[in-house]
Chain A
């Protein structure tokens, strides 16, 4: 599958990151890998996009983070907060509505000519 252009994800990246963290805490690079593998390679986002987006979600209180030391190296693991879980639910509902509407139009046979 061809990678999608990052600008196509504008407005959806936050929901995707929340969805990845729904299964449990993950560190930043694992989040990037989960997006990549979960989308069959379509969501191969630049690292410089994902890490700042995670920081912003933390600032918004939708995710939290904890530092731990693994093998002498500091590691930051992100987790979903209750607000983030609620936001993910809202975003899923919005996406369902949006994708149903877009699919209904894009998947339709060509419109008959009116003249």
Chain B
């Protein structure tokens, strides 16, 4: 393989413009998009070095490298599935990790001693509790079928992972709205923990709405091509 950084300013500018164009077309977590562009830029530099070693001028080599890698649209399409899956996994993990941070305030506010009052009283006080296992099972299934277990499990397609993300965000949104309505209709006195619970739910409602919009847009942009199972 030839040297890596032999491009002239014109060749360099072509590669820079290509990478900027690609970066603008990628959809998904910012860190992943940045890594993809950096990785492809390194590959382009190698391809340019190879072209020069085969007698091309720097500019010709840059053009040949870009032609070999494909148009920014083609490359962005090729990465769309992986980026969608990465977005789904990250978002689902965030919902799971932040769930207790919201739930604990509502528990302290609406039913501070659940072990004394029993399950029925707990369900009456916080009627969204049955939604929790639905969200948790959906999240666990989505994470398992898009992560390391795909060697043994049937892999979820990016569309399926996004559908799970939408389902979880919708469930969480519904739970927050219900619990806010329950509190508004209750005679629980206003106290500092209420401010924390309401703030936490309002923040999560905002996140859920943003997630619903993003996940729906990314899913809409995906082709219907299913992924195959790994070895």
- A interface list, Cβ under 8 A from B: 10-11, 14-15, 18, 27-30, 32-33, 46-49, 51-52, 55-57, 59-62, 70-76, 83, 87-88, 90-91
Contacts and interface: CB of A to CB of B under 8 A. Distances in A.
A15 B151 CA distance: 13
Nearest to A29: B43
Interface of B: 1, 4-5, 35-36, 38-43, 45-47, 50, 68-70, 74-75, 77-79, 81-82, 85-86, 146-148, 150-151, 227-228, 230-231
Given A14-B231, A51-B79, A62-B230, A29 B47 contact: yes
A74 B38 contact: yes
Contacts of B50: 33
B10 to A, nearest CB: 19
A57 B146 CA distance: 11
A59 B43 contact: no
A62 B82 contact: no
Contacts of B47: 29
Contacts of B86: 59
B1 A62 contact: no
A11 B228 contact: yes
Contact of B79 (A52, A74, A91): A52
Q: Is the interface of B mostly helix, strand, loop or mixed?
A: helix
Nearest to A90: B231
Contacts of A32: 43
A26 to B, nearest CB: 11
Contacts of A14: 230-231
Nearest to A71: B5
A51 B40 contact: yes
A98 B177 CA distance: 56
A28 B46 CA distance: 10
A91 B102 CA distance: 46
B230 A56 contact: yes
B231 A59 contact: no
Given A33-B1, A52-B78, A60-B151, A47 B43 contact: yes
A25 B198 CA distance: 51
B148 A61 contact: yes
A30 B151 contact: no
Given A29-B46, A70-B4, A71-B5, 7 more contacts: A11-B228, A56-B82, A59-B148, A60-B148, A60-B150, A60-B151, A61-B148
Nearest to B75: A48
